[in-house]
Amino acid sequence: MGDQTRRDMAPTTTETNPENDLGFAEKAAGACAFVLFGASGDLTKRKLVPALFNLGKAKLLPENFALIGVSVDDLSLEDFRTQVTSFLPSGAESAEALQWFRKRLFYERGDFADPLTFVRLRERLAALDAEQNTGGNYLFYLATAPKFFSQIVQQLGAATLSRQQNGQWRRVVIEKPFGHDLESAQALNREIKSVLQENQIYRIDHYLGKETVQNIMVFRFDNAIFEPIWNRRYIDHVQITNAETVGVERRGGYFDTAGTLRDMVPNHVMQLLSLTAMESPVSFQADAVRNEQAKVLHSILPLGPDEVLQRSVRGQYGPGLLGEEKVSAYRAEPGVSQESRTETFVALKINIDNWRWAGVPFYFRTGKRLAQRHTEIAIQFKRTPFELFRKAPFHKLHTNTLVIQIQPVEGISLSFGAKIPGPLLRVGSVDMSFEYSKYFGADAYTGYEVLLYDCMIGDATLFQRADMVEAGWKVVDPVLDVWRALPPRKFPNYTSGSWGPAEANQLLELDGRQWRRIEP
């Protein structure tokens, strides 16, 4: 999806840039103004502004570009520019790019509930159209608390800022979480689509900005050796792991009302699953790709109450060690109730009811304060029907596994059996692997660069559509209902620095399987 094939199908832009620091041939986006609601927040400073700066350095931002920050904080223009650029490199090699970027930063103080804020914003945008030649094209980014999503969109509509006319485009980017259950997601979709068309809405998931995630489709559909075996005949099961070493940090107040199931599964996990399991699209156009992802999500068999008890595991971290550092329990985190029943770990087993995946379980686990920061998709292939080497020492330990590693190192590896050198016939498991950074020499970026660029050129391939969001919540809702009715018996139930509660291992052991061992 992130390859040149998809890029060639994107809307035409103006400024050619054959080579740039992001490592691919590309054109600069067309003239536009980028309006950033929640401009004084942590996401803005740590991710969004650095990503835009990287695009600027790579000559992928248009010359006629402006960024307008909007928040309730009483900041001068210079205060704002200093605040949001504090995470940017300040060396001599970045000085020219930083000067260019700072001149295009502006600030508008205002309350999201106040219609006058949007009147002033409309006037500021009109002035920038004249001064910066931004062309009347506006990208609105909602880096705010979810409670403001619908309100801001309604205000944009009332101020006529969402109206597209005379070839000018207006787009809105919405951060997760998109609702807190199926009903709220459906309501939010209705409210937003009362103002915007679906093709104006970009529901963002920063995981989709990672090179390895974008490469899943290229890997599957552009390599004849893998696509024929990507099905129930050859694959035993699939494991998706998303492990974090951090706790809730400063998000305790939010997280204690959400939990890991809501925070991670309807978006991150469902996106990884749908890209792994989807059928080949008819093209790389956005809706062709998303149609196939949606089919997979709608094919997931819903869990009944008894199945939730058998196929789901929840956990909450207690105190422990990360390396040599002592860390506290979840209930000791700022903003968290000392009797909290909120889960910080989730493991689930699900099945996809279609021809390709019938009978192939998909297991996933995601949690905080785990042993390593690591995200991967592991495809476990079936054993051969007659094991010719079954009597060879160590052979029983060998399995074919394809691992798509997403973080912290992006790469792909394939394990297979090989003879161990020596006079005796001994079979061992070996790996063929590559890392993106070593092979292509690409630098690390925030993960938002590709996504923000796609918003500006109007390519929605990497963004969730309304039906995809709702399909993800349909998987999660039955689990939420059972967990709400049956509070956890023992929390905390796993030690910080471990791989989660023992029940997560038992989830696979009951099927005669085990989680892939992730080495440091």
pLDDT in tens, 32-48: 999 999 998 889 998 99
Q: What is the set of domains in the chain, with CATH numbers?
A: 31-175 (3.40.50.720), 208-445+481-509 (3.30.360.10)
Of the CA atoms within 13 Å of residue 198, those in its CB half-sphere come to: 13
Of 431 and 203, more confident: 203
State yes or no: pLDDT of 8 exceeds 60.
no
Mean pLDDT over the full length of the chain: 89
C-alpha span between 117 and 109 (Å, rounded) = 8
Contact between 263 and 252 under an 8 Å Cβ cutoff? The reply is no
pLDDT for position 467: 95
pLDDT for position 205: 87
Confidence of residue 415 (pLDDT cuts 50, 70, 90): confident
pLDDT for position 4: 41
Structure tokens at 166: 């005379």
Of 10 and 171, more confident: 171
C-alpha span between 6 and 432 (Å, rounded) = 28
178-183 average pLDDT score = 94
Of 187 and 397, more confident: 187
C-alpha span between 483 and 279 (Å, rounded) = 33
Q: Is the peptide bond before 492 cis (omega within 30 degrees of 0)?
A: yes
71-77 average pLDDT score = 94
State yes or no: pLDDT of 7 exceeds 50.
no
Q: Where are the beta strands (DSSP E) in 90-234?
A: 105-109, 138-142, 170-174, 201-203
Of 95 and 481, more confident: 481
408-430 average pLDDT score = 79
Burial class of 287 by CB neighbour count within 10 A (0 to 12, 13 to 18, 19+): middle
pLDDT for position 252: 82
Of 7 and 51, more confident: 51
State yes or no: pLDDT of 125 exceeds 80.
yes
pLDDT digits (tens, 9 = 90+) for 286-295: 899 999 999 9
Residue in 440, 443, 431, 441 with CA at minimum distance from that of residue 403? 431
* Identity of the amino acid at 436: Y
pLDDT for position 11: 38
pLDDT for position 176: 85
Indicate the length of the chain as a whole number.
520
pLDDT digits (tens, 9 = 90+) for 362-384: 999 999 999 999 999 999 999 87
Give the alpha-carbon dihedral of 206, 208, 212, 216, to 10 degrees.
160
Of 394 and 6, more confident: 394
pLDDT for position 95: 87
| Lowest mean per-residue pLDDT among 31-35, 385-389, 510-514 | 385-389
Burial class of 477 by CB neighbour count within 10 A (0 to 12, 13 to 18, 19+): middle
* Identity of the amino acid at 464: Q
Confidence of residue 122 (pLDDT cuts 50, 70, 90): very high
State yes or no: pLDDT of 395 exceeds 70.
no
Marked catalytic residue, from 237, 268, 374, 398? 268
State yes or no: pLDDT of 17 exceeds 60.
no
Confidence of residue 20 (pLDDT cuts 50, 70, 90): low
pLDDT for position 383: 82
| Lowest mean per-residue pLDDT among 213-222, 272-281, 396-405 | 396-405
Structure tokens at 474: 């349909």
CB under 8 Å to 329, separation ≥6 — which residues? 317, 318, 319, 492, 496
C-alpha span between 489 and 502 (Å, rounded) = 14
488-506 average pLDDT score = 96
Contact between 56 and 100 under an 8 Å Cβ cutoff? The reply is yes
State yes or no: pLDDT of 317 exceeds 60.
yes
pLDDT for position 386: 63
Catalytic site includes residue 298: no
C-alpha distances (whole Å) from 472 to each of 180, 278, 342, 383, 389 are: 11, 14, 20, 32, 43
124-128 average pLDDT score = 96
State yes or no: pLDDT of 23 exceeds 70.
no
- Largest Cα–Cα separation, the chain: 83
pLDDT digits (tens, 9 = 90+) for 441-450: 665 566 799 9
State yes or no: pLDDT of 262 exceeds 90.
yes
Query: What's phi and psi for 351, nearest 5 deg?
Result: -130, 145
pLDDT for position 5: 42
pLDDT digits (tens, 9 = 90+) for 190-206: 999 999 999 999 999 88
pLDDT for position 251: 80
C-alpha span between 508 and 148 (Å, rounded) = 41
Residue matched to tokens 């904080």: 73
C-alpha distances (whole Å) from 198 to each of 14, 349, 465 are: 25, 32, 8
Beta strands at 427-435 and 65-71: parallel, antiparallel or unpaired: unpaired
pLDDT for position 172: 98
